[in-house]
Amino acid sequence: MELILDASAESTAIGLSDQGTLKWDSANLDPQQHTRQLLPAILSALEQTGTAFREIGLVVVALGPGPFNGLRVAAATAKGIAVGVEAALVGVPTMRAEVHRCPSSLHQVRPVLRAGRAGFSTALYEWQGHAWEQVEELTYIALQDAHLLADSTVTLCGDTTILPHAQSQNCPETCPSRLQTLASLGWKDYAEGQTVIPAALQPIYLRPPHITTPRDRRH
């Protein structure tokens, strides 16, 4: 079995899959409650499905970009479980998971992921040959500049509700969920030997977190 963790959105979701096919998924956890709720939710998932920790052979975690705390907690939890049960570990960039939700017939897709209250991260992908290829660097765009991305030829996916012009450009509702694509991509990477040692797993932070300098270090 594979444990799938996605804390790269405002809320967190957990899944259990078998060779890349999602078998169970959770309700979204409350935003900003990753530290308190993630591990209890994993324990609940295992209990509900009758799965033992020792049955987890692979842990797949969304790397982001996304909320700093969510990514940090999910990565640490994934590492701890992988080490504890001697499971393999795979990290999947969230942009990659989002674009793989969409059919190749769309040709161009732009995943949109919320980045704080005032902006979002995005990149452009094109279907080239037999795979989605990133043709634009990952970038941050303020919400006030979202109109610059209006393009009827490009399909949007991800957190599109934050964009005022997105209604007619969204990826079809029949697309698989992000958890399902994380499960399938994670299994694919695992089957191809593209795992990572826990110490090397790093989330993708598009913007550094706003951390206040400790009082004793201020001058």
Residue 218 has pLDDT above 60, yes or no: no
Degrees, nearest 5: CA angle 165-170-112:
75
CATH of 2-93+177-217, one of 2.60.120.560, 3.30.420.40, 3.40.228.10, 1.20.1250.20: 3.30.420.40
User: Where are the domains positioned within the chain?
Assistant: 2-93+177-217, 102-162
In this prediction, residue 213 has a pLDDT band, given cuts at 50, 70 and 90, of very low
In this prediction, residue 210 has a pLDDT band, given cuts at 50, 70 and 90, of low
Name the pTM for this structure: 0.88
Q: What is the pLDDT of residues 30-70, one digit of tens each?
A: 666 666 788 888 999 999 999 999 999 999 999 999 888 88
R_g (Cα) of the chain, nearest Å = 18
Which pLDDT score is estimated for 3?
98
Which pLDDT score is estimated for 215?
46
Which pLDDT score is estimated for 214?
44
Least confident of 86-90, 126-130, 192-196: 126-130
The CATH architecture to which 102-162 belongs is: 2-Layer Sandwich (3.30)
Contact 159, 6 (CB under 8 A): no
Same fold, 2-93+177-217 and 102-162: yes
Quote the tokens at residue 167: 């209604």
Residue 219 has pLDDT above 50, yes or no: no
